[in-house]
Amino acid sequence: MPLEIIDENLHWLAPNHFNRRLNKFVVTIQSWTVRVGDKVIVIDTGVGNFKKRRAPRMNNLNTLTLDWLSAAGTGPNEVSHVAHTHMHTDHIGWDTRRDGEQWTPPFPKARYLYPRIDFERLHRAYIDKTMSADAAGVFGDSVAPIIDAGKVDLIEENETGIAGCLDVEPLPGHTAGMLSFHLHSNGAEGIFAGDVMHSPLQIVANQYNTAFCEVPDRAPATRKAFLDRAAERNALIMPCHYGAPYCGRVRRSGETYSYVSECA
């Protein structure tokens, strides 16, 4: 992305989405939790603890994630579903936790929901040993134990009523099988948007990808279509990597898009 685009937008990006002192984007890693009736759904699970990862900021973390979840009113035994927008390292890490020498599900009563397209590709590569050592390590410590425990369900594109309340729309580009989850309540809509954008600057300059898009030729069109839908529906968008307050709404004027941060 040209530096002048960043400079033109610093007045609203900083400080929550861009750190002027470090000259870097603010990129958080977060999960979302939804409680509807007797269902508790965790959407994307972050990096996980005590896992060997190539990226220094993700390597061998020791955070209080499960304690934070409990403090928010949801203990591990209450979680009924763990749903994934896609299967990158920073979205599946808390699918397991270390238990002695093993990796076990931290949410013992939950079904773990993965996008079929991403899951089948990665599972086949893991079995055939055609993925990199890093990717195999991630799949081995975070997904394989869930398969072994018999807790996997696969999500189809455009499926409705996931966990009784979420509708699915495909978002191919960041990965081939990435999905968004849509929640409707009292005429309002929220969209758990995964990594369709890593920064709200990609709303204003939506033609630009990050280096992490696996299908870069598809990502800009997917992003623009997502923005059109979100603006038309006045939906609250909840990506996984925005800075505070972590979610907001898209506004459209002609072919120009803007972002309004909101907490709810």
Distance CA 44, CA 25 (A): 21
Same fold, 1-28+171-264 and 31-165: yes
CA 167 to chain centre: 16
CA 201 to CA 181: how far, in whole Å?
Answer: 22
216 with 173: CB under 8 angstroms? Answer: yes
Q: Residue ranges per domain, the chain?
A: 1-28+171-264, 31-165
List CB contacts of 109: < 8 A, sequence separation 6 or more: 77, 78, 79, 80
Cα–Cα distance between 116 and 124 in angstroms, integer? 12
- Provide the pLDDT for residue 262: 85
List pLDDT tens digits, range 13-37. 999 999 999 999 999 999 999 999 9
Where do the DSSP E strands lie in 57-176?
Answer: 81-83, 97-99, 102-104, 111-115, 152-155, 166-170
Q: CA-to-CA distance for 22 and 12, rounded, in angstroms?
A: 17
Q: What is the pTM of this model?
A: 0.94
- pLDDT value of residue 28: 96
| Contact in structure between 112 and 146 (CB atoms under 8 Å) | yes
Kindly report, residue by residue over 204-236, the tens digit of the pLDDT: 999 999 999 999 999 999 999 999 999 999 999
- C-beta separation of 203 from 157 below 8 A: no
Question: So what's the pLDDT on residue 66?
Answer: 94
Query: Tens of pLDDT along 56-112?
Result: 999 999 999 999 999 988 899 999 999 999 999 999 999 999 999 999 999 999 999
Q: Which fold has domain 31-165?
A: Metallo-beta-lactamase; Chain A (3.60.15)
CATH class of 1-28+171-264: alpha beta
Q: Are 114 and 123 in contact (CB under 8 A)?
A: no
